[in-house]
Structure 1
Amino acid sequence: MSGMRNNIILVGMMGTGKSTVGAALAEKAGYRLIDLDQQIEEEAKCTIPELFANYGEPYFRDMESAMLSRVLQEGGVVLATGGGAVLREENRSIMLEQGWVVALTADLESILKRVGEDPGRPLLAGGAKERLTVLLEERKHAYDFAHVKIDTTGKTPDVLASEILMHYRG
């Protein structure tokens, strides 16, 4: 772990359990949980769907990059990122420099069950299954940069948190 800030960063598609696993993980590790999307919403004083609608995705992605650097400065953070945060080279670099990156994965069925037809997810508008199938394909290698990959299918957040900490401390 030398030279690496003591942050654990969770990446992965929406519905892979970043927020729920993050909460369990933060508790076990004694770290602060930060949900990147939530931080952005607080700063912007509007929801992410509103940000997308009013300013477009590039504006949102710029905010995301800025917020990413800021929240990792202090260390001792479990950071749950939005599904698309890894798409920018800059963000991947920040994550690798500032912490230990865990990619959470899950099969399509599990993701669908978890996100359903959630109106708060702008990228799923108009047919969740079709969109997700395309997104999974598009982002197949987007999470390859992570230090470790963990499949969340059929596991509880608690079990996953223990599994992640084992790797982290290992």
Structure 2
Amino acid sequence: MSDGKPPRHVVLVGFMGTGKSTVSRRLAELLACGTCDVDAEIVKREGEEIAAIFAGRGEREFRAAETEALRAVLGAEDALVVATGGGAVLSPINRELMLRRGFVVALTADPEQVIARVSQDPDRPLLQGDVRRRVYQLLEDRKGVYDFAHLTIDTTSLSVDEVVERIAQAISRFRTSQHSI
């Protein structure tokens, strides 16, 4: 962190279907802080659903709205657990914002587990058509983009509580190391 202080927020990144929204709510309960889903913030700010933004304005406009929403959320004074959309990490600006203002946790999962989790969700505009092919293609396209995170957890065979506990332990270690510098 550029100011030498521990980060205010915990930012969850990862591909769709890795558990960001579910984990964020449970982690916020444990940490006794607020939570914010960046996709929900975009919908609130833009006045339309994610799929409608993609369809009507395109991915580029959606990504611009995503950066503005992320900037606003991470500018909050009170600590938050922030669940980002799966593609939020595609922007170098977004990655920099996350690292500067949060402890970043990347959630991963086996591709077949992701497919099982997202295949019945009609609100995934990037998965129109052959879900299996799209998931594998997007995972290949995004290989390495989550590597900037402070912590990576594979959620494939973990319960939500196990994921939350691992994050809480890592945050504690991170904050301790930040204070000792």
Which TM-score bucket, shorter chain as reference?
over 0.9
Aligned partners of 1:75, 1:84: CA distance in 2, in Å? Answer: 25
CA displacement at 1:152 relative to structure 2: 0.5
Task: After TM superposition, give the deviation of residue 17 of structure 1 in Å.
Answer: 0.4
d(CA) in 2 for partners of 1:155 and 1:113? 15
Paired letter, 2:40: Q
Tell me the CA shift for residue 114 of structure 1.
Answer: 0.9
More moved, 110-119 vs 62-71: 110-119
Equivalent residues, number: 170
Give the structure 2 partner of residue 168 of structure 1.
171
Structure 1 residue 118, shift from structure 2 partner: 1.5
**Matches of 1:140 and 1:7, distance apart in 2:** 25
Secondary structure, aligned partner of 1:14: coil
Q: 1:75 deviation in Å?
A: 3.8
RMSD: 1.1
1:124 Cα deviation after fit: 0.3
Secondary structure in 2 matching 1:52: helix
How far residue 4 of structure 1 moved from its aligned partner, in angstroms, is 3.5
Gaps of 5+ in 1: none
Of the candidates 14, 17, 23, which is equivalent to residue 15 of structure 1? 17
Runs of 5+ unmatched residues, structure 2:
174-181
Larger Rg, first or second structure (1 or 2):
2
Indicate the residue corresponding to 1:83 in structure 2: 86
3-state SS of paired residue (2:82): strand
- 3-state SS of paired residue (2:153): strand
Consecutive aligned runs of 4 or more in structure 1 exceeding 2 Å deviation: 1-5
Q: In structure 2, how many angstroms separate the alpha carbons of the residues matched to 1:153 and 1:145?
A: 20
